Amino acid sequence: MASYKKFLIQQQSYNGTSYTNVGSVVDTYATYGIVCQEFPFKYMPEPKEPAKRDWYDENGEDVYIPTDGLKLQAYDVEAKFLYAGKVNEMHTKIKGFITFLYGRNSGGSSMMAIYDEYTKIGKRGVYVAEASEDIYFYNEKAPEGIATFKVKFRVTDPVTDITLTI
Protein backbone atom coordinates (compact mmCIF):
# COMPACT_ATOMS: atom_id res chain seq x y z
CA MET A 1 0.00 0.00 0.00
CA ALA A 2 1.76 3.09 -1.25
CA SER A 3 0.27 5.73 1.02
CA TYR A 4 -1.87 5.16 4.07
CA LYS A 5 -2.57 6.76 7.42
CA LYS A 6 -1.22 4.63 10.24
CA PHE A 7 -3.30 3.13 13.01
CA LEU A 8 -0.99 2.72 15.98
CA ILE A 9 -1.49 0.63 19.11
CA GLN A 10 0.54 0.50 22.32
CA GLN A 11 -0.32 -2.24 24.80
CA GLN A 12 -0.34 -0.93 28.36
CA SER A 13 -0.94 -2.08 31.90
CA TYR A 14 -2.97 -0.06 34.37
CA ASN A 15 -2.65 -0.41 38.14
CA GLY A 16 -5.55 1.87 39.08
CA THR A 17 -3.47 5.06 39.14
CA SER A 18 -1.00 4.99 36.24
CA TYR A 19 -0.38 3.43 32.83
CA THR A 20 2.80 1.55 31.93
CA ASN A 21 3.73 0.73 28.34
CA VAL A 22 4.04 -2.96 27.48
CA GLY A 23 6.18 -3.71 24.41
CA SER A 24 6.58 -1.23 21.58
CA VAL A 25 4.12 0.76 19.47
CA VAL A 26 2.64 -1.36 16.67
CA ASP A 27 1.72 -0.08 13.20
CA THR A 28 -1.16 -2.40 12.28
CA TYR A 29 -0.29 -2.33 8.57
CA ALA A 30 3.44 -2.92 8.94
CA THR A 31 2.90 -5.77 11.42
CA TYR A 32 -0.36 -7.41 10.28
CA GLY A 33 -1.12 -5.98 6.81
CA ILE A 34 -4.26 -4.39 8.30
CA VAL A 35 -5.40 -0.79 7.92
CA CYS A 36 -8.15 1.03 9.72
CA GLN A 37 -10.96 1.84 7.30
CA GLU A 38 -13.27 3.61 9.81
CA PHE A 39 -12.72 4.77 13.37
CA PRO A 40 -15.51 7.14 14.43
CA PHE A 41 -13.95 8.70 17.52
CA LYS A 42 -16.10 10.89 19.71
CA TYR A 43 -14.62 14.29 20.35
CA MET A 44 -16.89 14.81 23.33
CA PRO A 45 -18.79 11.79 24.71
CA GLU A 46 -21.97 12.04 26.74
CA PRO A 47 -21.65 13.62 30.18
CA LYS A 48 -22.37 11.66 33.32
CA GLU A 49 -25.47 12.55 35.29
CA PRO A 50 -24.39 15.23 37.81
CA ALA A 51 -24.62 14.44 41.52
CA LYS A 52 -27.88 15.80 42.87
CA ARG A 53 -30.26 15.75 45.79
CA ASP A 54 -33.99 16.20 45.56
CA TRP A 55 -35.42 17.68 48.76
CA TYR A 56 -39.12 17.01 49.26
CA ASP A 57 -39.66 20.34 50.99
CA GLU A 58 -37.91 22.41 48.24
CA ASN A 59 -38.54 23.11 44.57
CA GLY A 60 -36.26 21.65 41.90
CA GLU A 61 -32.97 19.89 42.62
CA ASP A 62 -29.74 20.62 44.44
CA VAL A 63 -27.17 19.83 41.70
CA TYR A 64 -23.39 19.73 42.02
CA ILE A 65 -21.46 20.72 38.88
CA PRO A 66 -17.67 20.33 39.24
CA THR A 67 -15.63 23.48 38.58
CA ASP A 68 -13.62 21.69 35.85
CA GLY A 69 -16.77 20.83 33.84
CA LEU A 70 -19.12 17.90 33.56
CA LYS A 71 -17.65 14.43 34.02
CA LEU A 72 -17.75 12.22 30.92
CA GLN A 73 -18.96 8.65 30.45
CA ALA A 74 -16.84 5.85 29.06
CA TYR A 75 -18.04 4.82 25.60
CA ASP A 76 -17.84 2.16 22.90
CA VAL A 77 -16.60 2.81 19.38
CA GLU A 78 -16.78 0.33 16.51
CA ALA A 79 -13.85 0.35 14.10
CA LYS A 80 -13.78 -1.23 10.67
CA PHE A 81 -10.50 -2.80 9.55
CA LEU A 82 -9.34 -3.97 6.13
CA TYR A 83 -6.81 -6.63 5.17
CA ALA A 84 -5.60 -6.72 1.58
CA GLY A 85 -2.94 -9.25 0.76
CA LYS A 86 -2.13 -12.85 0.07
CA VAL A 87 -5.05 -15.19 0.69
CA ASN A 88 -2.76 -17.87 2.16
CA GLU A 89 -1.60 -15.37 4.86
CA MET A 90 -4.98 -13.79 5.55
CA HIS A 91 -6.20 -16.02 8.37
CA THR A 92 -2.84 -16.00 10.14
CA LYS A 93 -2.46 -12.21 9.95
CA ILE A 94 -6.02 -11.45 11.10
CA LYS A 95 -5.88 -14.03 13.88
CA GLY A 96 -2.54 -12.58 15.03
CA PHE A 97 -4.02 -9.07 15.05
CA ILE A 98 -7.07 -10.10 17.09
CA THR A 99 -4.87 -12.12 19.46
CA PHE A 100 -2.78 -8.96 19.95
CA LEU A 101 -5.88 -6.81 20.58
CA TYR A 102 -7.10 -9.22 23.25
CA GLY A 103 -3.66 -9.10 24.92
CA ARG A 104 -3.21 -12.83 24.35
CA ASN A 105 0.16 -12.39 22.63
CA SER A 106 3.31 -13.38 24.52
CA GLY A 107 3.96 -10.79 27.23
CA GLY A 108 1.01 -8.71 26.05
CA SER A 109 -1.71 -6.77 27.81
CA SER A 110 -5.35 -6.22 26.91
CA MET A 111 -5.33 -2.53 27.93
CA MET A 112 -4.19 -0.27 25.10
CA ALA A 113 -3.47 3.21 23.88
CA ILE A 114 -4.59 3.75 20.28
CA TYR A 115 -3.89 6.52 17.79
CA ASP A 116 -5.37 7.12 14.35
CA GLU A 117 -3.20 9.31 12.07
CA TYR A 118 -6.18 10.14 9.84
CA THR A 119 -8.33 11.70 12.56
CA LYS A 120 -5.27 12.65 14.66
CA ILE A 121 -7.07 11.33 17.71
CA GLY A 122 -5.68 8.96 20.29
CA LYS A 123 -6.98 7.57 23.57
CA ARG A 124 -5.58 5.51 26.40
CA GLY A 125 -7.47 3.13 28.66
CA VAL A 126 -8.92 1.21 25.70
CA TYR A 127 -9.77 -2.49 25.49
CA VAL A 128 -11.61 -4.75 23.05
CA ALA A 129 -15.29 -5.24 23.84
CA GLU A 130 -16.02 -7.46 20.82
CA ALA A 131 -14.58 -8.65 17.51
CA SER A 132 -16.99 -9.52 14.69
CA GLU A 133 -17.54 -13.14 13.74
CA ASP A 134 -18.03 -12.76 9.98
CA ILE A 135 -14.67 -11.35 9.01
CA TYR A 136 -13.46 -13.11 5.88
CA PHE A 137 -14.51 -12.11 2.37
CA TYR A 138 -12.35 -13.25 -0.52
CA ASN A 139 -12.23 -15.16 -3.80
CA GLU A 140 -10.55 -18.51 -3.10
CA LYS A 141 -9.26 -18.75 -6.69
CA ALA A 142 -7.33 -15.48 -6.59
CA PRO A 143 -3.90 -15.25 -4.89
CA GLU A 144 -4.77 -11.84 -3.45
CA GLY A 145 -7.77 -11.24 -1.23
CA ILE A 146 -9.58 -8.63 0.81
CA ALA A 147 -11.13 -9.10 4.24
CA THR A 148 -13.08 -6.57 6.26
CA PHE A 149 -14.03 -6.98 9.88
CA LYS A 150 -15.19 -4.87 12.81
CA VAL A 151 -13.82 -4.52 16.31
CA LYS A 152 -15.70 -2.74 19.11
CA PHE A 153 -13.43 -0.90 21.53
CA ARG A 154 -14.33 0.37 25.00
CA VAL A 155 -12.75 3.75 25.83
CA THR A 156 -12.49 3.96 29.62
CA ASP A 157 -10.58 7.27 29.74
CA PRO A 158 -12.65 9.64 27.57
CA VAL A 159 -10.73 12.74 28.68
CA THR A 160 -7.02 12.10 28.06
CA ASP A 161 -5.86 12.64 24.47
CA ILE A 162 -2.62 10.93 23.47
CA THR A 163 -0.32 10.74 20.44
CA LEU A 164 1.67 7.68 19.47
CA THR A 165 4.64 7.61 17.10
CA ILE A 166 6.96 4.93 15.83
CA distances 4 to 22, 87, 128, 136, 147, Å, are 25, 21, 24, 22, 17
Taking the C-alpha atoms of residue 42 and residue 25, their distance in angstroms, rounded to an integer, is: 23
pTM: 0.87
pLDDT tens, position by position, 112-135: 999 999 989 999 999 999 998 666
Q: Are 102 and 151 in contact (CB under 8 A)?
A: no
pLDDT tens, position by position, 96-110: 999 999 999 988 999
Q: Are 73 and 48 in contact (CB under 8 A)?
A: yes
Domains of the chain: 1-44+79-166 (2.40.30)
The share of the chain scoring above pLDDT 70, in percent, equals: 93
| DSSP 8-state code for residue 98 | H
Instruction: State which amino acid sits at residue 74.
Output: A
pLDDT tens, position by position, 43-77: 889 999 999 999 999 999 999 999 999 999 999 99
pLDDT of 25 above 90: yes
Confidence category of residue 139, pLDDT binned at 50, 70, 90: low
| DSSP 8-state code for residue 59 | S
Taking the C-alpha atoms of residue 80 and residue 38, their distance in angstroms, rounded to an integer, is: 5
Return the pLDDT at 125.
96
pLDDT of 41 above 90: no
Question: According to DSSP H, which parts of the chain are helical?
Answer: 28-32, 87-101
Listed residue (49, 47, 109, 36) closest to 77, CA to CA: 36
